[in-house]
Each structure stands twice: as C-alpha cells, then as structure tokens.
Chain A
C-alpha cells in the first residue's frame, strides 16, 4: 500500500478527522469529471515564483539549495504544464504563518512559498533554502524532520497529490508519526530526495532531486 491510511493514531489529529468508512469505489465511467483536471496557462505563473530566495530585498539566511525533478503519470509519462506548488519553514524551522508559535526567528527575507509549471519533459525546478526541523505538539518532544510541502496536479482530479519531500539521512525519521504513517518502507523512501551532484552548482548551491509519480487513473488501468 502506497498511501497512508486515514486513521493513524500515533498522529493524533487523525483521530477525529479520519473517515470511519472506506471510500465508495466508483465504477470506471469515462464521463466522470474527476478523470479530467484543470489546465494551467503560462501567463498564470511567473518564472520568478520558482525562486524562493529572491522574493524580498535581501537574501534569506540558510543553506541555498536547488530542488528539481519530474512529475510523471502512472505509466511513467511526463506530465506537462502542470502546477507544482511548494511551501516550507525557513532555515530556523519557522513558518511565515500566523499560527506558528515555534520560538525560532522569522526571516524577513524568506516567505517560503513558490510555484511553477512543469516543462515538456515534466520537469520542475525551485531555488530555496534548506528548511529547519521544527517542534510540534503531537506528543512529548515531537519534532518534524526537515521537509518541503509539495502540491501537484496531474491529468485527472483523482491524481491530485499533496505530499512532503524529506532530506536524506534525517535522524528524525524513526520518530515522526507523519512520515511513519506510510506503512511500506519502500514507499516512505520515495519521499526522500536524493542529493544530486549533477544539479549542484559550483560556488552556489547543493542540488536535490525529487521525482513525483502520480497514481494511475481507471482509464490507464484498463
């Protein structure tokens, strides 16, 4: 099983929010609107939105990184011109969000939100800084491993994916109920970006690669 179950008691917020009944499985109906997806125009997303380090007057503090990869469909084909959105904490582990109470500094030069459209090969690329780990109140001494939130569209509404990208070798993996909510170890590994010398730029930034593969649609299954 790739995706986590709704109910994952170690992640306490699932207790009152996980549906108690399994979803109804619809028969493959080629007319179902859920098998189509919004399309995005290039005028709707500016190129500069993919660089999270140039949104303010100064440069953000932290380790500059380049995160790139491809969005693929369930058959391994590139998903073109699709919207990829990311958001993350700053290098100190603090979100630019009103309700984040972690007593780590905000960075006036870092908001931590970006978006881009994939190219004809399904590729995306963001420039950002490496986010810090941060505490949360799920249990005593709970810390989230450093992560970047991803939101990705496919060619069908059923493929809509929101996930989190992690960094290799994080010592917090065994202790994180959100990462561990994915039952299959091999599936968990797919959320860990790879350090990539090929996209690392000399004298500038480390490169990480993170490919996103969307689920098959009923039409692709048949």
Chain B
C-alpha cells in the first residue's frame, strides 16, 4: 500500500539543498553544459521556493551527494532563487534528454518532465502536437548553455510525464 505524497512545503531550504548540489561536474569538466531556466506559476509569476532534481541515468564517479573529485555525478539538486531561476552544470547526457523533477509549496506531489537538448526525432516528442512538443525542448542559448523554463500551469504549460 503506497505511502501518499505531501507537499515539500516552504521550509525545506535549510535541509534538502546541499553544497554544490547543482554542480554535477567541476567547472573545468570537458564538454560541461549548463541547464538553466525559470519556474513559473499559472499567473506567469516566478516560483521562488521550488526544488529541482536532475537525473542523467547513472550515478557517475562523483557521488550523488559528495562533489569532491573529478568526473561527474548523474544526480543534481537545486532550489530556485528569489527570481524563480535555477541552474545546473552537468555533463552531456548519454540519452537525448535529462529527467527533471520539480517540488514546491503548492505541489502536493512532484511534477516530472524531460529536458531534451535537441529537437530531433524521438518516440515521445514525435507523439506530441508541436506546441506541447516545444515545451520539452531546451533552447540552446550558446553551444553549451540550454534554457529550459518550467511552466506549472496555463499558457505554454510544460508537458509533465508519468509512467
């Protein structure tokens, strides 16, 4: 009998974020990418108290929690700033996408989505109408910086996933 979910609430900030949680790889890691963006609510306002978790599918040589040493971790955690922004530094994933979970006050359970780095043929993307598809594809701002906004509700609402 599954244990039900409850909101992460507003006061996780001193407990769940950890040092360099959003930095899955060191700054000088070859081929590192930045994934950044905003979390927005149904009024288009920034969500300053969300927590994002990024998963690449393999834990990697650095730990999930311990950022010492070279190489990369496959897991990252980053709270949003007061302006609703978040930022991860990661290795380029082996898959075309990164898995993303968002927790926040007002979310009684997390939302899960995928950050696709390219708008290439893909079984999930190809099953979606263009406007919905577009919400899953990050915008390449530079060769190594990808912008991915999460719109929880309303115009341009991000496609959220379940299994």
Contact with A along B21-49 (1 / 0, CB 8 A): 00000000000000000000111010100
Say which size band chain A's interface belongs to.
Answer: 35 or more
Interface centre among A29, A43, A97 (most CB of B within 10 A): A97
Compute the total of residue contacts between A and B using a CB distance below 8 Å. Answer: 214
CA distance A37 to B55 in the complex (A): 8
Contact with B along A194-222 (1 / 0, CB 8 A): 00000000000000000111111110000
* Given A4-B109, A44-B65: A18 and B6 interface contact (C-beta under 8 Å): no
* Distance of B60 from chain A, by nearest CB (Å): 9
B residues contacting the other copy or chain, number (CB 8 A):
62
Q: Are A18 and B153 in contact (CB under 8 A)?
A: yes
- A78 neighbours in B (Cβ, 8 Å): none
Q: Are A178 and B108 in contact (CB under 8 A)?
A: yes
Main secondary structure of the interface of B (DSSP, over half): loop
Chain B: which residue is nearest A111 at the CB level?
B14
Pull 7 A–B residue pairs with CB atoms less than 8 Å apart, ordered by A. Answer: A2-B1, A15-B42, A23-B161, A36-B55, A36-B58, A44-B66, A179-B6
Chain B interface residues toward A at CB < 8 A:
1-16, 41-43, 45, 47, 53, 55-59, 63-66, 73-75, 93, 95, 97, 99, 101, 103-112, 123-124, 128, 152-154, 157-163
